[in-house]
Structure 1
């Protein structure tokens, strides 16, 4: 296990989950037919997703088979089906060891599933109504910030909750987010979401967190639990991964240069951009894929 060198998650997030991942693999490796180092490769990004995106505590239930099914069915992993099947086997074997009382669940075929597709324009309008229609000022502020930072700047929950008010700059050119958690970068907010972000931060002091109070703990994702405690109507469920997917496809459809989008998104692999083209029927063609790959590789 000590041979493993994390390259799949940002350093601050890895520091948060490293002891848990090491303990989990140390427990299950003797009961598995897999090398511990290979388990680390599969377990690390999975635990990062469960803890930092879904807001789960670092306990055995991280390896619940339902969560494994959700993870494997994502369409932004950019892994071949064969690799996904191997990772699924790894994770389910771990689940059997740490949660022996959980029965097996049915998995749909790996192709065609999506839990991170972008929202439609109508759905985004409904989500803005969700954010602005919360019953308390605190919830309106939080919901507005989550939506504006997710759909407007492509941030994930970990990045959102590590922002101070001073990290969001607003001037006559628009709004710019200085991302501190995860991959450091500057991200301009899409014009559609500028006003919602400005309204959400109107009374927030420069040294305060954009999300959460002064005594919050920033070592786990509290964005998803916050969303789950907001008021809901008939709008679609607010999901940060779908907000980010919407931000990516908006830029792709608008023709944003691939290298610029790679930098703003904090992506390391150009193929991640091409994966998003499946949600844009008019652009899901070889010519667009070649162009975006060529542009994105300039970021390297």
Structure 2
């Protein structure tokens, strides 16, 4: 009931809810009833805990997921105030030189499987703005390679179609050579888990002097590249699966020529208009 209504993958919801429910019921001693456990007051107390070493991003992610569940199971609870968790600066994008070194990292792995998987992470995150969860849930026939380019159909919480940037086409094409059917795109065909497969893979890869491969930085680089090219903001929102124009506007801080109140207003207004998405 909850997963379809929340539009989040079940595995992602479990990461946030398992610890939360255990804390509410077994630590705080409340009854295990939906309207009690998922009341917004309990969520506020949970994400504000000072006995855990969570960063702001984890607290924001947990708060977002848990509040979405609360909207479904406790619809009459009403909104309550939360302290700001926006102290974290926007993720720093990679420079062009760093991207070149990351491509060397991807193509220089010691086995064909590692080269393929590293290439897909870089190609899909930096080239199509996908996040790790979306990459590891792709199936072979979700990716279409044709004369017009490489197009990816993304399922999950924000379904959409995205075209891979020209710079990363060859890397993605090379990484997909010989594949067909309904196997996972990322990892071996025998992979059974869809939970956090990318982070452990990156830790195991062969590394030299390249910058640390971080998919969220790759995705931020994709966003900043489009913003710098003045791609219409509503199209970036759609392709990136974004829901809040303000999140897109914060990335202007990485583009000196566009870092101004006027450009921020332009991007937010353009994102909200949706005029480039009209048929």
TM-score (normalizing by structure 2): 0.77
Q: Separation in 2 of the partners of 1:218 and 1:115?
A: 30
Query: What pairs up with 1:1-300 in 2 under 5 angstroms?
Result: 10-17=8-15, 18-29=17-28, 37-40=40-43, 64-65=52-53, 68-69=54-55, 71=57, 82-84=83-85, 114=89, 116-299=91-274
Q: Following TM superposition, by how much is the alpha carbon of 1:276 offset from its aligned partner in structure 2, in angstroms?
A: 0.8
| Aligned-partner SS, 1:135 | coil
Q: Separation in 1 of the partners of 2:94 and 2:28?
A: 40
CA gap of 1:42–1:287, structure 2 versus 1, over 3 A, is farther
Q: Separation in 2 of the partners of 1:122 and 1:25?
A: 48
Counting matched residue pairs gives: 246
Moved more, 22-31 or 218-227: 22-31
| Aligned-partner SS, 1:237 | coil
TM-score (normalizing by structure 1): 0.72
Q: Following TM superposition, by how much is the alpha carbon of 1:280 offset from its aligned partner in structure 2, in angstroms?
A: 1.0
Deviations 1:118-156 (A, max 9, x none): 111111000000000001111000000000011001111
| Aligned-partner SS, 1:158 | helix
Q: Following TM superposition, by how much is the alpha carbon of 1:240 offset from its aligned partner in structure 2, in angstroms?
A: 0.7
Q: Following TM superposition, by how much is the alpha carbon of 1:29 offset from its aligned partner in structure 2, in angstroms?
A: 3.9
Q: Separation in 1 of the partners of 2:148 and 2:121?
A: 22
CA gap of 1:15–1:238, structure 2 versus 1, over 3 A, is same
| Aligned-partner SS, 2:256 | coil
| Aligned-partner SS, 2:221 | helix
Root-mean-square deviation (CA, aligned residues, Å) is 3.3
Q: Following TM superposition, by how much is the alpha carbon of 1:40 offset from its aligned partner in structure 2, in angstroms?
A: 2.5
Q: Following TM superposition, by how much is the alpha carbon of 1:208 offset from its aligned partner in structure 2, in angstroms?
A: 1.6
- Gaps in structure 1 of 5+ consecutive residues: 1-5, 47-62, 85-109
